A and B are shown apart, each in its own frame.
Chain A
Amino acid sequence: MVQTKKLKDGSRQIILNGKQYEGVTKVLSELASKTKASAILFADMSGQLISQRGNTDEMNTTVLSALAASDFAATAEMAKLVGEEAKFKLLFHEGEKRNVYLSNVGDYFFLVVVFDVNVTLGLIRIYTKKAIQNLQEILEEEQEEIKDKDIIDSDFSSLLGDALDETFK
């Protein structure tokens, strides 16, 4: 399972370990080669980009992830307003040159597939569905826990404070 925890203050912590990251990246590579998609992103629901494949050099994928997450969250609210009890599972944006296909991967993650209009949507749908199953399996495997003290130890915040002073001077 992906390591998730609710901190005392109520905020949510999600940790993806090395093995999971490798697995996710491999699935994205396979999906990219099978679909000829221009770009494939895997991100968490708060909008943080985790992994990307394809031709993403010309694309600001950090911003794309943030926008896609908000897109998801906004349509979840829309779902409620129109009386849909579950969240919408996928979003599709159709352009003249490129299309974007977004689909959730469990509750915490989502996948963005950007592809040229000459690639058929059916192909994208079939391979994306399979990729999502693979991703879910990877994310659900039992994993060794990463301890909090290994993430942020006692002098982390003072060192961060110094780094912030340096950056913001």
Chain B
Amino acid sequence: MFINWALQEINLKIVYYGPGMSGKTTNLEYVHSKLDPSLTGELVSLKTKEDRTIFFDFMQIEVGKIKGKKPKFNLYTVPGQVYYASSRKVILNGVDGIVFVADSQPHRMEANIETLLDLENNLKQDGHSLETFPWVVQYNKRDLPGVDSIETLQKKLNFFGVPYFEGVAVRGDGVFNTLKAIINNVVQNVQNQL
């Protein structure tokens, strides 16, 4: 969190984390397509020719002034492919809250778990831990046939009982609820310090 007291700006960094093709970029694209252009900046995507995120996606959103303060939310995604492990670590620098976008399909469970462990490992190197850090889970692709039940996903992935959401990011289902939850979670955390 970076606070510019002169301008009364509160900047938060939210990172969408998850395995490859789980829908992280799609979440950001939906938010970008639906928000009033006056509240959102450009969506920048660093992609390969094949449309896979190579470094990150970025966009900033605002919600106007609240009690004279101007919160700004900087949303980032990480590249999901295993190959880009060190890029993921780099994006986490200065992170305030994380959305873990899990793929609900059974054959992606292993990738979900692997990425979650990778996240925990990266957070640890910065002195954080999933046990205390603000994060939420989105179980994405709920519209696909044969997806794992929420019970199964919860049991295997949400071992700290953080807020979870069902998503169909391509249609926008669950996208805003997820984002709202992580923002509230981060702000609540700061309030709890008082």
Contacts and interface: CB of A to CB of B under 8 A. Distances in A.
- A and B interact: yes
A123 interface: no
B48 interface: no
Interface stretch (B19-27, B104-112, B125-133, B143-151): B125-133
Interface string B115-133: 0000000010011110011
B179 A16 contact: no
B4 A9 contact: no
Nearest to A166: B63
B189 interface: yes
A66 B35 CA distance: 20
Contacts of A18: 5-6
A11 B133 contact: yes
Give 3 nearest A-B pairs by CB, closest first. A46-B94, A21-B6, A10-B128
Given A151-B190, A161-B180, A168-B180, A11 B96 contact: yes
Given A73-B90, A77-B90, A152-B10, A13 B69 contact: no
Contacts, number: 169
B91 interface: yes
A118 interface: no
A149 interface: yes
Interface residues of A, number: 52
B44 A156 contact: no
B interface SS class: mixed
B161 interface: no
A167 B63 contact: yes
Contacts of B134: 9, 11
A159 B67 contact: yes
A66 B95 CA distance: 13
Contacts of A21: 4-7
7 contacts: A10-B127, A13-B2, A16-B5, A47-B58, A60-B42, A160-B66, A160-B183
Interface in B123-181: 123, 126-129, 132-134, 176, 179-180
A10 B35 CA distance: 31
Contact of B13 (A10, A46, A146, A167): A46
Given A21-B7, A152-B187, A163 B63 contact: yes
Interface string A84-113: 000000000000000000000000000000
Nearest to B35: A167
A7 B2 contact: no
Most A C-beta atoms less than 10 A away, residue of B56, B95, B189: B189
Given A45-B93, A50-B4, A160-B71, A7 B44 contact: no
B86 to A, nearest CB: 5
